[in-house]
Amino acid sequence: MSGVTGNQDVDIDLGQLVRAVWAFRLKVLAVTLIGAGVAFAGAKMISPKYRAETRLLIEQRAPAFANTQSNDGNGGPLLDELNIASQVQLLQSADIIKQVINSEKLYELPEFDDAVNGSALSDILVALHLKKNPLENLPEERVIDAFIERLQVYQVPGSRVIGITFTSKDSKIAARIPNAMANVYLATQSGAKLDTNSEATRWLEPEIENLRQKVNDAEQKVAEYRAKHGLLPTNGGSNFPQQQLNDISVELTRVRGEKANAEARAQSVRNALASGEASDTLPDIMSSQSMQRLKATESGLQSQISDLSTSLLNNHPKLKSLRAQLADIKAQIRQETQKILASVESEAKVAGLRAAELERQSGTLRANSAQAGEDEVGLNALQREANAQRQLLETYLARYREAASRADSNSSPADARIVSRAIEPVDPFFPKVVPIVAVAAVATLIMSAIVIMLVELFSGRALRPVDGNVEPASPIEEKTQAAVPKAKRDIKPSMLSAPVEEEPGPQAPPPLQDENEFSISSVADYLTSSRATLAVAISPTGDDGSAATVSLARALADVGQRMVLVDMTGSGYPTKLMGDDPNAPGVTDLLCGAAAFGETIHGDRYSDAHLIPQGISDIRQAMRGADRLSLLLDALASAYDLVIVECGAADVAGVSRLTRSKDVEIILSMPVVIEEDFVFAMTEFERAGYQRVVLMSGDETIAQDLPRRAA
């Protein structure tokens, strides 16, 4: 039997739990060994299963003779996550599974049709309609279902590799099936490519013939249009009128240059003749052979005259003869110069006539070229149509040749390859004897210890009282028990807020309590241990009770509690005790909207506690917004460890307007206990649904204006 009475608070004795387990250590060890043995025997009785795996790499593959430069980058499948997931689903399709089943003749193996042999457990489940009768399905469906249960296809994370694993009782089958599935998959993919190429060639053949006819018709229209409008092609790519106009423009420019050159030469000859200057430097004169002979003769005569002038007189007949010859030669030179001038002038006139003729022809050709340009618009449209048809035909021909070249099965490899083939496994995949035995032993050990601990807890041997001894009841408790009716005597006079409920039958004598059980420090300890967040203090006797509440707030602040006291009294006595400014904004100002939330919180002048004073606004106007007090208190409760609302001599109706929940601490602050007032208050709060009511009394000195340590 435990030493714990029914009215005491208890705790779990962990040491007793450990000692109880240690006392039964031999039994625990025996049970653990039995569990491990059963697990070992069960693992040995289970038929071993083997697992093998084949891995495929999904990648774009082309024939060895294919021109990689001509391949269209968009022609192959996108190797993204969706494509890999699609290939995983394709490997699990019924078509591939049926091909593997038929090729490997799995329908002949009993492993893939357990329904034929059956089992006692399966028959019982079928008889109880807890399981569908497998014989109702067709044999092919049963084999497929058994195959799917043993098959696993998955994508290796972070790669384009697909794993195919298969589990079987036969190690050879476990290795053969994944390889067979990979081969069937590759053959299916390659066959799909062959079908695509065959369909492409069948579709392209009539299309190519149709396009050839369209190309011939388009080119015939181009030729007819050219002949009709005289748009003969030239080497430069332009039409014939444009080519003629270009040639005449070039010739006209050249002729105009020759004319200007001839006129300049003629003008230079005229200038030389008019000024009497020597014409030996003129190119046209010097280039004349007659002029060159005359100049040579003139030079010879002048040389002879010079030679004879040294030995003969000026009137010598020979000198006269030579001078006459020289004058004749000069006359011939002038005549020859006039001829050259006339020739140059004639050349300039001819050039001018040619230029005029070329200008006339140029005007005519301009008109013809403009007309040809208009006609060429239609020709260009016909040529574009012909070129488009020709390009489409060439594209179809290239694709047809490519598709025809891949008609062989070896020319269209699948977009995947086997990177790891399954090999026959040596060790079974299941069961793993050592892990199973280890897990079973640990589980049995833990369960045995838990059972022993539960037995100790329910027997009470592992429970111990919180308080070591029982103390006599205080005089205040005896007075309270005498004042409270029998139906209310289960209310503990301690600060613990036991629910006030009526219990039938005789009551056990209440435990004796310390005479300071209702003191301020005891109530402070209770509020700290219960972790209450909101307490409503009622002072039926007036300001002396409010002063006790102030002392309670300061006591809580001294032990490190973050707490705030809200002054909801009519007299504002807590504000006078704690606040420095009697006109500081408070609750009434907050409810009237005259102050912000942060402006209403003030510090206690004698402790670390905070205070929300009564305020200076009109109380009647403030009470119109009393329904918002619950929101205010919720906000304060989230910021402080404890919120105490001092309501003065308030009744139950006034307290009910403060909180929406009845699960709050109600403190009856009565420094001097008056039985009638106490019993009345307890009864009223109980009827209103407040179950956690605490009496705060005692003989402690209530400090009003004393320093903090004295308070």
pLDDT band at 73 (very low <50, low <70, confident <90, very high): very low
| pLDDT, greater one: 204 or 25 | 25
Answer with the residue of higher pLDDT: 371 or 261: 261
Span 577-627, pLDDT tens digits: 998 888 889 988 888 888 888 888 999 988 889 999 988 888 888 877 777
DSSP state of 156: P
Residues 201, 207: Cα–Cα separation, whole Å: 10
Q: Is the pLDDT of residue 482 over 50?
A: no
Q: Residue 548: is it exposed, middle or buried by C-beta count within 10 angstroms (0-12/13-18/19+)?
A: buried
50-58 and 161-168 strand pairing: antiparallel
- Separation CA 453–CA 459 (nearest Å): 10
Torsion of CA 567, 572, 578, 580, to 10 degrees: 120
Q: What are the contacts of 212-220 at 24+ separation with CB within 8 A?
A: 212/393, 214/389, 214/393, 215/386, 215/389, 215/390, 215/393, 218/382, 218/385, 218/386, 218/389, 218/390, 219/386
CB contact at 8 A, 513 and 474: yes
Helices (H) and strands (E) in the chain, counts: 22, 13
pLDDT at res. 133:
62
Q: Could you tell me which of 11, 1, 18, 14 has the C-alpha nearest to residue 459?
A: 1
Q: What is the CA angle 699-704-710, rounded to 5? A: 70
What is the per-residue pLDDT across 144-195, written as a single tens digit (0 to 9) for each? 988 999 999 999 998 999 999 999 989 999 999 999 999 999 988 887 777 7
| Separation CA 27–CA 14 (nearest Å) | 20
Which residues neighbour 179 within 8 Å (Cβ) at sequence distance 6 or greater? 54, 418, 421, 422
One-letter amino acid for residue 333 of the chain? I
Q: Name residues whose C-beta falls within 8 Å of residue 481's C-beta, 6 or more positions apart in sequence.
A: 473, 489, 493, 510
Question: Phi and psi for 603 in degrees, rounded to 5?
Answer: -90, 150
Determine the Cα angle at 644 with ends 641 and 645, to 5°: 145
For the 520-697 domain, the top CATH level (class) is: alpha beta
Query: d(Cα 233, Cα 239) in Å, to the nearest integer?
Result: 5
Predicted confidence (pLDDT) at residue 9 exceeds the cutoff of 70: no
Residue 604 to residue 609: CA distance in whole angstroms:
6
Q: Which residues of 474-483 are buried (b: 16+ CB within 10 A; e: fewer)?
A: bebbeebbeb
CA 27, 30, 36, 37 torsion-angle sign: negative
Q: Once rounded to an integer, what is the mean pLDDT over residues 402-411?
A: 65
Q: Report helix angle 14-23 to 433-459, nearest 10.
A: 120
Handedness of CA 444, 445, 449, 455 (dihedral sign): positive
Q: What per-residue confidence (pLDDT) applies to 503?
A: 37
What is the structure's pLDDT at 235?
60
Buried b (16+ CB within 10 A) or exposed e, 150-187: bbebebeeeebbbbbbbbbeebebbbbbbbbbbbbbbe
- pLDDT per residue as tens digits for the range 668-688: 888 887 777 788 888 888 888
What one-character-per-residue DSSP string does 354-387 give?
Answer: HHHHHHHHHHHHHHHHHHHHHHHHHHHHHHHHHH
Please, are residues 563 and 556 in contact by the beta-carbon 8 Å criterion?
yes
Q: Please report which confidence band the pLDDT of residue 368 belongs to, taking 50, 70 and 90 as the band edges.
A: low
Question: Average pLDDT for residues 277-287, to the nearest whole number?
Answer: 63
Compute the distance between CA of residue 565 and CA of residue 577 in angstroms, rounded to an integer: 12
The structure tokens 């599974």 sit at 97
Q: What is the pLDDT of residue 127?
A: 66
Residue 468: per-residue pLDDT: 45
Residue length, the chain?
A: 711
**What are the structure tokens assigned to 280, written together?**
């030996």
Which residues have CB under 8 Å from 242's CB, separation 6+? Answer: 234, 369, 372, 373
Per the prediction, the chain carries an average pLDDT of 77
Domain boundaries, the chain: 11-46+431-459, 240-406, 520-697
Place of tokens 């048809």: 389
- Distance (Å, whole) CA 73 – CA 68: 10
- CA-based nearest residue to 170, from 51, 53, 54, 55: 51
Q: pLDDT over 90 for what percent of the chain?
A: 18
pLDDT at 486: 33
Mean pLDDT of all residues in 636-657: 85
Query: What is the spatial distance between Cα 566 and Cα 62, in angstroms, rounded to a whole number?
Result: 84
- Taking the C-alpha atoms of residue 146 and residue 177, their distance in angstroms, rounded to an integer, is 13
Residue type, 317: P
List the Cα angle 325/328/329 in 5-degree steps. Answer: 90
pLDDT at 16: 82
**Bridge partner residues of 262 (DSSP):** none
Q: Which of 93-97, 235-239, 317-321, 382-386 has the lowest mean pLDDT?
A: 235-239
Q: Is the peptide bond prior to 431 cis by the omega test (within 30 degrees of 0)?
A: yes
Locate 379 and state its tokens: 């020709």
Short-list 423, 512, 432, 527, CA closest to 475: 512
Instruction: Please name which of 506, 480, 485 lies closest in space to residue 668, comparing C-alpha atoms.
Output: 480
